[in-house]
Chain A
Amino acid sequence: MLRFVLHRLAYAVPIIVGVSLVCFLLVHVAPGDPASALIPDDTPPEIAAQIRAAYGFDRPLPIQYLTWLGNVATGDLGLALSTRRPVIEEVLPAVANTLRLAAGAIVLACVAGVVLGTLAAYRAGRTSDRAISAIGISGMSVPQYWLGIVLVIVFSVELGLLPATGMGHPDAGLAGQWQHMILPTITLATVPAGVIARSVRSAVSEVLQQEYVQALEAKGLPAAWIVLHVAKNAAPALLAIMGLQFANLLGGSILVETIFAWPGSGYLLNSAIFLRDLPLMQGTVLVLALFFVLANLAVDLLQMALDPRMNSARRGSG
Chain B
Amino acid sequence: MIHDQKTLAAASPIRSRGFLADMGRRFAHDPITLGAGGVLLVVALAALLAPWIAPADPNATSIVNRLRPPGTPGHPLGTDELGRDLLSRVIWGGRLTLFMGFTPVVVATLIGGFLGILAGYAGGWVNSAIMRGMDVFYAFPSVLLAVAISGALGGGLVNGLLALTLVFIPPIARVAESVTLQVRTQPYVEAAVATGASATRIVVGHVLKNVAGPILVYASSLISISIVIASGLSFLGLGVSPPDAEWGLMLSSLRQSVYVAPVNAVIPGAMIFLTSLCFNTMTDGLRHALNVKE
In the assembled complex, the Cα of A14 lies from the Cα of B151 at a distance in Å of 25
Pair A143/B272 contact, Cβ less than 8 Å:
yes
Residue in contact with A247 in the complex, picked from B142, B236, B237, CB distance below 8 Å: B142
Which residue on chain A has the smallest CB distance to residue B293? A202
Pair B228/A143 contact, Cβ less than 8 Å:
yes
Contacts of A137 in B (CB 8 A): 277, 280-281, 284
Pair B265/A141 contact, Cβ less than 8 Å:
no
Q: Does B202 contact A (CB under 8 A)?
A: no
Q: Does A65 contact B (CB under 8 A)?
A: no
Contacts of B142 in A (CB 8 A): 247, 251
Q: Given contacts A137-B277, A141-B273, is CB(A26)–CB(B152) below 8 Å?
A: yes
Minimum CB–CB distance from B170 to chain A (whole Å) comes to 12
The secondary structure that dominates the B interface is helix
Minimum CB–CB distance from A196 to chain B (whole Å) comes to 14
Q: Given contacts A138-B277, A145-B251, A292-B140, is CB(A202)–CB(B294) below 8 Å?
A: yes
Q: Does A248 contact B (CB under 8 A)?
A: yes
Residue in contact with B153 in the complex, picked from A31, A149, A272, CB distance below 8 Å: A31
Pair A26/B148 contact, Cβ less than 8 Å:
yes
Pair B266/A153 contact, Cβ less than 8 Å:
yes
Minimum CB–CB distance from B228 to chain A (whole Å) comes to 5
Contacts of A149 in B (CB 8 A): 251, 255, 258, 265-266, 269
In the assembled complex, the Cα of A157 lies from the Cα of B265 at a distance in Å of 13
In the assembled complex, the Cα of A30 lies from the Cα of B150 at a distance in Å of 9
Minimum CB–CB distance from A10 to chain B (whole Å) comes to 13
Residue in contact with A145 in the complex, picked from B147, B152, B262, B269, CB distance below 8 Å: B269
Pair A153/B262 contact, Cβ less than 8 Å:
yes
| Complex interface bits, B251-294 against A, C-beta within 8 A gives 1, otherwise 0 | 10001001100100110011011001101110010000000001
Contacts of B237 in A (CB 8 A): 274
Q: Does A101 contact B (CB under 8 A)?
A: no
Contacts of A146 in B (CB 8 A): 251, 266, 269-270, 272-273
Pair A255/B232 contact, Cβ less than 8 Å:
yes
Q: How large is the interface on A (under 10, 10 to 19, 20 to 34, 35 or more residues)?
A: 35 or more
Contacts of A30 in B (CB 8 A): 152-154
Q: Does A5 contact B (CB under 8 A)?
A: no
Pair B154/A157 contact, Cβ less than 8 Å:
no
| Complex interface bits, B65-103 against A, C-beta within 8 A gives 1, otherwise 0 | 000000000000000000000000000000000000000
In chain A, residues 15-33, which have Cβ atoms closer than 8 Å to a Cβ of chain B?
Answer: 15, 18-19, 21-22, 26-27, 29-31
Q: Does A258 contact B (CB under 8 A)?
A: yes
Q: Given contacts A26-B152, A145-B251, A153-B258, is CB(A19)–CB(B136) below 8 Å?
A: yes
Q: Which 6 pairs from chain A and chain B are nearest by CB?
A: A146-B269, A251-B143, A18-B136, A273-B151, A251-B141, A247-B141
Binding site for A on B (CB under 8 A): 132-133, 135-137, 139-144, 147-149, 151-154, 224, 228, 231-232, 235-238, 248, 251, 255, 258-259, 262, 265-266, 269-270, 272-273, 276-277, 279-281, 284, 294
Binding site for B on A (CB under 8 A): 14-15, 18-19, 21-22, 26-27, 29-31, 137-138, 140-143, 145-146, 149-150, 152-153, 157-158, 202, 247-248, 250-252, 254-255, 258-259, 269-270, 272-274, 278, 281, 285, 288-289, 292-293, 296
